[in-house]
Structure 1
Amino acid sequence: MEKLSKHLDRPIVLVGLMGAGKSTVGRRLARRLSLPFVDSDDEIEDAAGCSPAEMFERYGEADFRDGERRLVARLIDGSVRVIATGGGVFVDPRTRKLLNERAITVWLDAPIDVLAERTGRRDTRPLLRTPDPKGTLEELSKARGAAYSEAHIRVTSGEGAHSNVVETIVEALEEHLGRA
C-alpha cells in the first residue's frame, strides 16, 4: 500500500450520484492509503456557514454549482488526498474537465434501489424532495450517466461491505497507475 501511495501524485476524487457511498468509502479509502480525506459538502458548509442543501435552496442550482466548482478547484490544488464530491459536481463540463486533468476520478456507481434506500434515510437532499424520489434518482442516473462515464475509473458500490469497494478501488488505482 505504501508503494501505491508513493506513486500518487494527485488527488483521488470520488464522483457519482447521491447515496453511492462517496463519503463513507472515501473516508475508508483515505485511511487505507494513509492519505487525508476531504468531503466537499463539509467544506461548503464550513465556507458558507450553512449546509449545501440550504445553499441550494437559497441561491438556486446555478449559483450553487458555480460556488461548488470554485471550491473543488481549490481542493484539488492542495496535497494528494481523497476527496468526496457532491453528486452534481462532475456533471458540469468545466468541472469534469478540470478534475480529469488534475485528479484521478473514480465513479462510484450504485443500483437505483440501493441509492433510493440510502438516500431515503434522511431528508437532506433538495433534489429528492419530490413525490417519487426513486423516479427522480432514475432520471438523474440517465441524465448524468454519460458525464460520470468520463471518470478514469468506474467501481460498482452496492449492498456489499464498503471494505470490498475500497479494495476494488485500490486494485483499479494500481492498474490505472501501471501496477504501482
Structure 2
Amino acid sequence: MNLIKNLVFLGMMGSGKSSIGNLVSKKLDLPFIDIDNLIVEKAGMSISEIFEKKGEVYFRNLEEKITLKTLKKIKVVISLGGGGFINAKIRKEILANHFSFWLNSDESILVKRIKDSKKRPLAFNSTDREIREIIKNRSKIYTNAQFKINCNKLTKTEIVKKIIKIYELN
C-alpha cells in the first residue's frame, strides 16, 4: 500500500466525490479535503455567489491555486470540484503524483441529481441537453483518471470497498 500518494476523487457534479471521499478517508484514517469547501472558505461566499459576483474565470483561477496547493500535502483524501480535473495543470499534477479515481455514473442519473441545483451554477437553469453536453465533454477528460469506478449499480459501501481494495493493491 502506497501511503505517500493522495487519493483524489474526480467526476461530474453530483457523482458523489465528497460523500465517497469522506467515507474512504474515515476507513483509511486519513484527513479528507473537499476543494469546493476550501474555495467557499477562502472566498467567503458560496460557489454560486462567486460565479454570480466574480465570474467563472475568477472561480477557476482560485480553484487552480487552492487545488495545486492542496495537492502538495501527503496522505490525504481529496475531492475535486466537477471542473477541477479539466484544468491541464491540475490534471498533470494528479496523474503524475496521486491516485485518481473517476466516480462515473450514467448521464440520466447525473442529470437527475444536478438538474436545477442552486448549488451548481453550471447546471442551474440548464436544459437536460445542455447538462448532457457538459457531461459528455468532461467525460472525455475524466477518462484520463488512473481508475474508473462505475457507480451505477453499487451502494456507497460497495464503492468505498472497491476503492480501498484498489488502493491497497497499488
Q: CA deviation at 1:158?
A: 2.4
CA distance in 1, matches of 2:34, 2:10: 11
Q: Is structure 2 residue 14 aligned with structure 1 residue 19?
A: yes
Aligned to 2:131: 137
Tell me how many residue pairs correspond in the alignment.
170
**Aligned partner of 1:28 among 15, 23, 35:** 23
Give 4+ residue runs of structure 1 displaced > 3 Å after superposition.
Answer: none
Is contact 1:17–1:141 with CA below 8 Å preserved after alignment? Answer: yes
**Structure 1 equivalent of residue 63 of structure 2:** 68
For residue 44 of structure 2, what is the aligned residue in structure 1?
49
Aligned to 1:166: 160
Is 1:84 matched up with 2:75? no
Distance, in Å, in 1 between the alignment partners of 2:98 and 2:148 is 14
Q: Measure how far apart 1:34 and its partner are.
A: 0.9
Q: Does the 8 A contact of 1:114 with 1:159 survive in 2?
A: no
CA distance in 2, matches of 1:150, 1:131: 26
CA deviations 1:42-73 (Å, max 9, x no partner) are 11111110112211222222221111011001
In the alignment, the residues of structure 1 paired with residue 57 and residue 141 of structure 2 have an alpha-carbon distance, to the nearest angstrom, of 17
Which sits farther off after the overlay, 31-40 or 123-132? 123-132
Deviation at 1:121, TM superposition (A): 7.6
CA 1:56–1:95 in structure 2 vs 1: closer, same or farther (change >3 Å)? same
Task: Give the structure with the higher percent helix.
Answer: 1
SS of the counterpart of 2:55? helix
Sort the Cα spacing of 1:55 and 1:159 in 2 relative to 1 into closer, same or farther, 3 A.
Answer: farther
Q: CA deviation at 1:30?
A: 0.5
RMSD: 1.6
Percentage of matched positions with identical amino acids: 29
**TM-score, reference length from structure 2:** 0.92
TM-score, L = length of structure 1: 0.87
Unaligned 5+ residue runs, structure 1? Answer: none
CA distance in 2, matches of 1:130, 1:156: 27
Would you say the 8 A contact 2:47–2:119 is kept in 1?
Answer: no
Q: Which runs of 5+ in 2 are unaligned?
A: none
Q: Residue deviations 1:8-33, cap 9 Å, x none?
A: 21211100000100001011011111
Q: Deviations over 1:96-154 (max 9, x none)?
A: 1112122211111111121122224842111112251x322210121111210111111
- Asked whether the 8 Å contact 1:130–1:136 carries over to 2, the reply is no
**Counterpart Cα distance in 2 of 1:131 and 1:119:** 10
